[in-house]
Amino acid sequence: MTKKWTITETDLNDDSKKEAIDAQLEEIKIAFTYGEIIGIPTETVYGLAADARNSEAIHKVFNAKGRPGDNPLIIHIHSIKQLENFTAPLDERVTKLMEAFWPGPISFILPLTGDYLSSNAVAELDSVAVRMPSHPVGRKILEYTDIPLAAPSANISGKPSPTNAQHVIDDLEGKLYGVVDSESAIYGIESTVLDCTQFPYRIARPGAVTREELEEVLESEIDTVKDESEKPISPGMKYKHYAPSQPLIVIEGGINNNTKLPVDRHQKVGIIAPESAREFISEDIHFIGLCRDRDSYREAARNLYSALRIMDTSDVDIIFIHGFDKVPESEGLMNRIYKATGNEVIRSE
């Protein structure tokens, strides 16, 4: 049975619980030291964490997830000083971005040096993606253990990512040592990944930190990694991700009175859309409200994976999902939606 530790932000601020919390943190540290893998909270999604220096532990992560071996892992740290162990000296432009956005939902791909990290964790690349989470409990675990943790999303590879501890258990019961039950992820989609190994810097995966925010701090244009056929330099690039077991189709332009769904009368249909679209959806359709309105992008991102998981366990035969307007704030959200659908699209009239 999966071991569970319960640690919340409130617990961390309660002096009367310090001894009990420290005892749990020590158990977690010992487990990592012995090569175990543990589900931990971050502000983006729950991560399946392992000591990034331990090749056997990294092998457990790939096996538990069923993850392709050429898909690199993001290394989670609590201090920029830790980078001295495995990256080249930081360019001042990278430092400027780290000061602006760390701790937070962004990962930086940096030149890798030495053999401090397991080569399996970085998929034999000469670069490494690194992140400093802002989730208070995730950060406390990183600080207490002082271990660089490789932590991809704690789910079966390709399926919707987990945003709470129960999602982790649902997917990986019996495949991991334990999980830390804490506050749910507040962003709900994985971090922005910025490739800083060449200039102009390139977005390898969009997320909560937008291109415009990065360009404002950097005072320079940001490019995009365009070729996904090459060996991926970041998670979320090459493979279909985030998908339920049923066919999933995005409705570009959103749902209205004239939307025609390509289904036959025997199919049970599910729709994921803003609550404002409910008036256009018949009662025989399984509807999940993703957010309040069409422009509630942050709320939609936070609820996306939970909605996909609910649909995945329902009896619907096919799922349609609202396509949001293509604006900077929705780029990460729509990236995950298109990945989940495998770019299966219909246009609303």
Looking at residue 79, what is its pLDDT?
98
Number of domains in the chain: 2
Looking at residue 229, what is its pLDDT?
52
pLDDT tens for each residue of 45-95: 999 999 999 999 999 999 999 998 889 999 999 999 999 999 999 999 999
Q: State whether 118 and 265 are in the same domain.
A: no
Instruction: Quickly tell me which residue has 């002082």 as its tokens.
Output: 146
Residue span of the structural domain in which 340 resides:
248-347
Q: State whether 125 and 62 are in the same domain.
A: yes
Looking at residue 125, what is its pLDDT?
94
Q: State whether 210 and 306 are in the same domain.
A: no
Q: State whether 18 and 132 are in the same domain.
A: yes
Q: State whether 111 and 252 are in the same domain.
A: no
Q: State whether 25 and 75 are in the same domain.
A: yes
What predicted TM-score, i.e. pTM, was given to this entire model? 0.94
Q: State whether 220 and 252 are in the same domain.
A: no
Nearest partner of 290 among 334, 241, 326, 327, judged by Cα: 334
Residues of the chain with pLDDT under 70: 227-232, 236-240, 349
Looking at residue 230, what is its pLDDT?
60
Q: State whether 34 and 87 are in the same domain.
A: yes
Looking at residue 255, what is its pLDDT?
86
CATH of the domain at 321: 3.40.50.11030
What is the pairing mode between strands 269-273 and 286-289?
A: parallel
Q: CA 224, CA 233: separation in Å to the nearest integer?
A: 12
Q: State whether 217 and 265 are in the same domain.
A: no
Residue 231 located in a structural domain: no
Q: State whether 25 and 64 are in the same domain.
A: yes
HSE toward the beta carbon, residue 92, CA cutoff 13 A: 1
Residue 264 located in a structural domain: yes
Looking at residue 128, what is its pLDDT?
98
Q: State whether 14 and 161 are in the same domain.
A: yes
Looking at residue 288, what is its pLDDT?
98
Q: Which two tokens stand for residue 104?
A: 């937070």
CATH of the domain at 33: 3.90.870.10
Residue 338 located in a structural domain: yes
